[in-house]
Amino acid sequence: MSASIRGIIDHMFKDTVDNAETRALHEELLNNCLEHYEDLIARGMSETEAIDAVVESLKGMKEVIDEYPKKSDVQAAKKEKVNAEQKFEQDTEVPEIRMGEEEKEVPPVEKPSEYVYEASEIRSLKTELKNCDLKIGISGDSRIHVRCEDMEQILCEKEGSALVVKAVDKAKKSIEEEGRKMASQEFTMKGLLSFIGKAIGSVAANISICEDVFIDLPRQALDEMNLNAKSGDIEVKAKMPMKLSAHNMSGDIEIKAIDHGPARIVTLSAMSGEVEFEGNADTATLSSMSGDVEACGLYRNAELRSTSGDVELNGEAEQIRMNSVSGDVTVNLRGDAARSIQVRSTSGDVDISLAVGTDGGVHTSMSTVSGSESCDVPDAGPGAKLQIQASSVSGDINVK
């Protein structure tokens, strides 16, 4: 599928003048898209879904590319809209209908007003939600509470010591109910057409923003949290687990630790939303295709990247890697723990502010094609404790 992604990127640049800046932007964008595609495949997406997601994330890049000179006055053709029928086929599983079978009575299941679990029984939390915001906070007791104004919207299951919170596919459930009713009736073309109409109507009725889902956790930390959402914001204000991951297709991710205890691994990624992490971690990896990315805290390794958004780090980290294609890259250090800083932007500025009294010396390597370079820090040579590599194609670079 790399050829498909390359074809898409080539098409976006087909009317753009070929020069050093546009070639660098082309390669940077291509590499980011290929990396994101491989990440989506590794997380279980099909090739078609991953390609669609990459295409969706590129919408914000058109305005950036349009700023560059064109080969002619003809503007690049607009991207084709996603075919509604294909989306329906991908997102909706129509149940198998067996004619002539008797409809079985299914007793109604009464939903509780909230799910409650003893904290001692749960060591990890996983969510699979869509079309709603997820908000995680602190409970008033030592138990875990899961609630939603529409409890029919969610399903909670215990899998060993893991708590899994899932979205209920109401459209699929409605289609299955209509299928069971039809199965007990005599087959007619009119009945089949009626079923198809109700199925489409059910999907349309349930493609809407659902009620927020709230999860309250006690102050003792879990071992792991794996938060996934297809559409909607993810907001967490809690004690950090040892391992935290949050992935979002459409919406913001905002994580704030309520204490200073570090997590081991933090991985946050969004397709078309902002990503913000305030807390400490051994390793923090934050990314967004079309939103800003910001981290504030103490880290051993920090990697931040965005395709069409700004990237900013405030705090301390030994190893820092930051990258943006069309946004600015900003590093504000509060201490002298840093050993390596590697930052780059294709069409944005790079600003690095070192802490006052940084010991051990600094060696800076800067490069830009059409921007300016400025460094207020004396160069201590290749053997310096802190090594800085900063590059931009059409942006300015400042180290102070």
- What is the pLDDT at residue 225? 96
Q: Is the pLDDT of residue 74 over 50?
A: no
14 confidence band (pLDDT: 50, 70, 90): confident
Q: Kindly report the average pLDDT of the chain as a whole number.
A: 81
Phi, psi of 147 (to 5 degrees): -145, 160
Distances from the Cα of 30 to the Cα of 8, 25, 51, 134, 306, angstroms: 9, 8, 13, 32, 13
Q: Is the pLDDT of residue 148 over 80?
A: yes
Q: Per-domain residue ranges for the chain?
A: 2-91, 112-231, 240-400
Burial class (CB in 10 A: 0-12, 13-18, 19+), 256: middle
Return the top range by mean pLDDT from 84-88, 180-184, 186-190, 366-370.
366-370
278 confidence band (pLDDT: 50, 70, 90): very high
- What is the pLDDT at residue 139? 93
193 confidence band (pLDDT: 50, 70, 90): low
Per-residue pLDDT, averaged over 252-273, amounts to: 92
pLDDT digits (tens, 9 = 90+) for 204-243: 444 445 789 999 999 888 999 999 988 899 999 999 999 9
> What's the pTM?
0.70
Per-residue pLDDT, averaged over 126-130, amounts to: 93
If one counts every other C-beta atom within 10 angstroms of the C-beta of residue 133, the result is 19
If one counts every other C-beta atom within 10 angstroms of the C-beta of residue 10, the result is 11
Is pLDDT larger for residue 152 or for residue 322?
322
Burial letters 87-114, b for 16+ CB under 10 A, else e: eeeeeeeeeebeeeeeeeeeeeeeeeee
- What crossing angle do the helices spanning 20-42 and 47-57 adopt, rounded to 10°? 140
Q: Is the pLDDT of residue 100 over 50?
A: no
- What is the pLDDT at residue 289? 87
Burial class (CB in 10 A: 0-12, 13-18, 19+), 169: middle
Q: Is the pLDDT of residue 386 over 50?
A: yes
pLDDT digits (tens, 9 = 90+) for 362-371: 999 999 998 9
Q: How far apart are CA 2 and CA 91, in angstroms?
A: 24
Encoded amino acid at 245, one letter? S
- What is the pLDDT at residue 66? 74
Residues 6+ apart with CB under 8 A from 21: 68, 347, 369, 370, 393, 394
- What is the pLDDT at residue 16? 84
- What is the pLDDT at residue 37? 81
- What crossing angle do the helices spanning 84-91 and 189-206 adopt, rounded to 10°? 90
**Helices in the chain by DSSP H: which ranges?**
2-12, 20-42, 47-57, 62-66, 84-91, 170-183, 189-206
Per-residue tokens: 172 = 């699929």
CA dihedral (216, 220, 222, 225) positive or negative: positive
CA 326 to chain CA centroid, nearest Å? 18
Q: Is the pLDDT of residue 339 over 60?
A: yes
pLDDT digits (tens, 9 = 90+) for 44-57: 888 888 887 777 77
